[in-house]
Amino acid sequence: MRKLVMLAALMCFCLSPLFSQDMQPEKFPDSKLIQITYMKFHPGKMGRAMEIVRDYFMKASVQSGTRTPMMAVNMMTGEWDMMVVWESDISDLEWRRSPDGIKWQKALNELAGGADKARELQEEYGSTIAASTSDMGRKRNLN
């Protein structure tokens, strides 16, 4: 039995170059990299967090021409209160401070009435979140 297993493994190693000669690079069709962020809010704070998002963060995104979430889901079960899905790009990982981030921050500063007020809003929003985590995935069309 052991000899049979070793023979099968040897054949796989010897034959695999023959199969790889006809292989061509192929991307996944219609796929997008997405970032999924899960958030848990402190008790009673989700409403205020959503006010800040609606009245300032989303408006800053529209005003600056930067990305808005693809989807936001209020969770009914599990440990998280909300899931937000963003279209992403692998190059997003290269930036400490991206050009889009700078445009968004400038728009938020304007909407909030100055950089200090914008910082206060961001700190208040951060204080509403008890925990969060993010995952990356590939969005695919199933049709």
Q: Is residue 113 part of a domain?
A: yes
pLDDT for 28: 77
Tens digits of per-residue pLDDT, 37-71?
Answer: 999 999 999 999 999 999 999 999 999 999 999 99
How many domains does the chain contain in total?
1
> pTM, whole model, 2 decimals?
0.78
pLDDT per residue as tens digits for the range 94-109:
889 999 999 999 999 9
Least confident of 59-68, 86-95, 126-135: 86-95
Helices (H), the chain: 2-20, 46-52, 58-64, 99-112, 115-128
Q: How confident is the model at residue 3 (pLDDT cuts 50, 70, 90)?
A: low
**How many angstroms separate the CA atoms of 32 and 46, rounded?**
29
Domain harbouring 132, CATH code:
3.30.70.100
Name the residue range of residue 71's domain: 31-140
- Average pLDDT along the chain: 89
